[in-house]
Every structure is written in structure tokens, then in C-alpha cells.
Amino acid sequence: MSTRAYDVRIAEDPADLEACFAVRKEVFVGEQGVPEDIEYDAYDAVALHVLAVRDDGMPLGTGRLLHGEAAAAKVDGDLSVGSLGRLAVTREARGLGVGVALVRAIEDAARARGLRAVDLHAQTHALGFYERLGYEAYGPEYPEAGIPHRAMRRTL
């Protein structure tokens, strides 16, 4: 949990999940032009979602963790590696540490599930952000939803 003017929590109730999806729609669909029909997927039903919420209840950011069989296809079948994804922070919350807090909350959830590492697919403009958090890029650049990405991993 954060001591700042916002909290980061696991999204467990329907209202929290709706807030997560609203942030993703605002950032990925609205700002980045990702088609809405590919932004939401079957993994949303089984993922662990985290939500950053301002003290007044305004959602600021979200992310998700896939683990176990849900993550296997994204991490070359290694069940000891989780997959961090759909990290999004609203425009007004950028620069407040929300992204860092979300990543750390996802890593804590991964550790609690016995995972030894976390992989992610980073938009190339965000590589520096993830590198500062201990992630290392590997493999070639590739397009995902029409946006250049690289795979990254952090050992926990």
C-alpha cells in the first residue's frame, strides 16, 4: 500500500474491475488507438488485477498479472514466471509514482504465488521506465496492436 494520496490494491470486487477496464479504455483505446476488441481478452477473467485509486475514489492506474497456466503461453511454458501486462496510468496521474507502485504491487503478488520472475511486453518508449525497475529487455522488437514492443524480464 502507498502512503501517498492514493492506494494500490488488488481489484477483487466488480466496481474495482470496472475501474481497471475504464482506465485501460481511456489509455489504450482512447489515447493509443488500440482497437477495443483486442484490448480485452479471455485472460481478464483469470488475471489478478491491481488498481491505483486516489483518496477520493478516482481510479488512476491499473495492471494485471497472469500466472500458472494462464501465463504459460506468454512465458515459454515456464510456470515459475508470471506475465505482467495491461499496465496503464491515466494522463493526470503520470509522474506521481503510480506506475512504479502498480509494478511493485504486481511483483509482490507474483512473489506471494511463488513465482521466481516476471515477464512483460513493453512498448519501446517505456523501456527506460522498466529498466529503472530492474527489468532487462531480451529478443527483437516486434509489433503488438500496431505498437513496437520488446520482451523484458525481472528475476524476483
- What would the pLDDT profile of 99-117 be if each residue is shown by its tens digit? 999 999 999 999 999 999 9
- Please provide the distance, in angstroms rounded to a whole number, between the alpha carbons at the two ends of the chain: 19
Average pLDDT over the chain, rounded to an integer: 94
Say yes or no to pLDDT of 122 above 60: yes
Instruction: Identify the band that residue 151 occupies on the pLDDT scale cut at 50, 70 and 90.
Output: very high
What is the reported pLDDT for 21?
Answer: 97
Alpha-carbon gap, residue 21 to 62, rounded angstroms: 8
Prediction pTM value: 0.93
What is the reported pLDDT for 73?
Answer: 85
What is the reported pLDDT for 2?
Answer: 42
Say yes or no to pLDDT of 1 above 50: no
Residues 5-16: pLDDT tens digits?
899 999 999 999
Q: CB under 8 Å, gap of 24 or more: what pairs does 25-31 form?
A: 26/88, 26/90, 27/88, 27/89, 27/90, 27/91, 28/86, 28/88, 28/145, 31/91
